Amino acid sequence: MNSQRNKFKRGQNFSTEEEFLLITLAAEQRNIFENKKNDGVTWKEKELAWENLAVTYASKSGVQRSALSLRSKYESLKKKLAAGLPYGQPPKTPSVAEKLRQVLGDEDTGDENSDSDCIMNELQTDGSLGDIIEFNEENSSENVTSKLRTPIAFEAKLIAPPTERTQPKRDFDSQFQEEKLRLIRAQRRFYEQENVRAQEKHLEEMETLSAKRELLYLEIAEKKRKLKDSPKE
């Protein structure tokens, strides 16, 4: 039971260059990704931001990865930084850990308010996971040890109940974010269909060219036959 819970399907590994690109792109929207609020509008904003990042990531790296995969990898890097775990073969300075530490500072490295809890819930419900990180017993125990060594600061905030003035604005913001997310997904489907149509057009052109070539061969053969059958003077 524990082995099934702690094992996930492993996708294609991230290269060091991809990790640097992910951290760099995430830094541009750090105020969204590291927002500690848990309301619906904030989560919609985060979801939209990760969808946008996935499109930019694919155009710059040439590697298609889902927003959930990039989000999960980002949280994994933050947890490794907090636990002091190695990142593998270090590249030329700065390392991935140093780059992430520069972006996040010392206060945002895999704490309790990160998006990792939401990601785990999505991993359990989403059928198309993309690139999923593999967890095992050893890594989970190291994470638990690191969390025990790191003091946890609790912050309590009083949230006023929504008033008649603020509630419509929140509903409008949520609807606006949903519409933007639908637009991005529609654009992605359009570009995917454009690629399919381009491939079909190329195949049609190749078939037409092959038919013309075959027709030319038949015409040449017919002319040779007529020359051969014509009476000699």
Question: Which tens digits make up the pLDDT trace of 35-67?
Answer: 888 898 999 999 999 999 999 999 999 999 999
Longest pairwise C-alpha distance within the chain: 112
When mean pLDDT is compared over 83-92, 107-116, 129-138, 202-211, the highest value belongs to: 202-211
Q: Which pLDDT score, from 0 to 100, does residue 9 have?
A: 42
Q: Which pLDDT score, from 0 to 100, does residue 95 have?
A: 65
Distance, CA of 135 to CA of 231 (rounded, Å)? 86
Considering only residues 149 and 184, tell me which one the structure prediction assigns the higher pLDDT.
184
Task: Give phi and psi for 133, each to the nearest 5.
Answer: -80, 140
Name the average pLDDT for the chain. 72
Q: What is the DSSP string of 47-107?
A: HHHHHHHHHHHHHHHS----HHHHHHHHHHHHHHHHHT---SS--SSSPHHHHHHHHH-SS
Check whether 189 has a pLDDT greater than 50: yes
pTM of this prediction exceeds 0.85:
no
Question: Which tens digits make up the pLDDT trace of 131-179?
Answer: 433 333 344 444 434 443 444 444 444 555 555 555 566 678 888 888 9
Considering only residues 64 and 95, tell me which one the structure prediction assigns the higher pLDDT.
64
Distance, CA of 14 to CA of 28 (rounded, Å)? 20
Considering only residues 193 and 142, tell me which one the structure prediction assigns the higher pLDDT.
193
Q: How many helices (H) and strands (E) does the chain have?
A: 9, 0
